[in-house]
Structure 1
């Protein structure tokens, strides 16, 4: 399959936009780095909290429990992303696609029930 001049032109436009999409942010960050004032002092490097003196270390351990909720959110968010286009074209795709989507939802619900039984969803 040979590419016509119009197809090649479309590829050139995409390549130019990709190049500009990489070059413009890098160029902006580089120019900003050279133009900004940079005078670090110990006072400027301390933690600022509304004029109050910092107490303790600024690095705090993040509770690992949050990642489970984040993963469950992403899981069901992706499910919604897959369900929407399927629902839009449901009349055109037939029974086989309905069975595939039911299997997909069944697997996700099975994962949710598993997480529930393992008490992952309980906050302690």
Structure 2
């Protein structure tokens, strides 16, 4: 049960720190809620027209591709750092399969034309 007490103490300390920070902000931050400050704005520009506007989904595809390959790179760097030690042939084969899956995914995305900007 000692392990659970440590986890509970850490969680309670975290909640107490967040509550203390929010309380300090409430007490110390200046507050002057005038109508100009309460209006909605985007990058300092007053909103014009309706709030709904159709956007391009292509930007979402680029974002997802970036996240996928960036996360994969996070797995590659630690492996590359310890590859000099005795990882064995199994580790090398596993990483080759991992990189192979990435290459197949990249070829599929390229073949479908999702990497074109126009």
TM over 0.5: yes
Shift of 1:68: 1.3
Structure number with the bigger relative contact order (C-alpha 8 A, sep ≥ 6) is 2
What whole-Å deviation, never above 9, does each CA across 1:37-61 have from its counterpart, x for those lacking one?
A: 55534333234877x8x36148464
CA RMSD of aligned residues (A): 3.1
2:105 is paired with a residue whose SS is helix
Matched length = 115
Runs of 4+, deviation exceeding 6 Å: none
TM-score (norm 1): 0.69
Structure 1: gaps (5+ residues): none
1:40 is paired with a residue whose SS is coil
Shift of 1:80: 1.4
**Which position in structure 1 is the counterpart of 2:109?**
115
Identify which of 77, 83, 92 aligns with 2:76: 83
TM-score (norm 2): 0.72
Structure 2: gaps (5+ residues): none
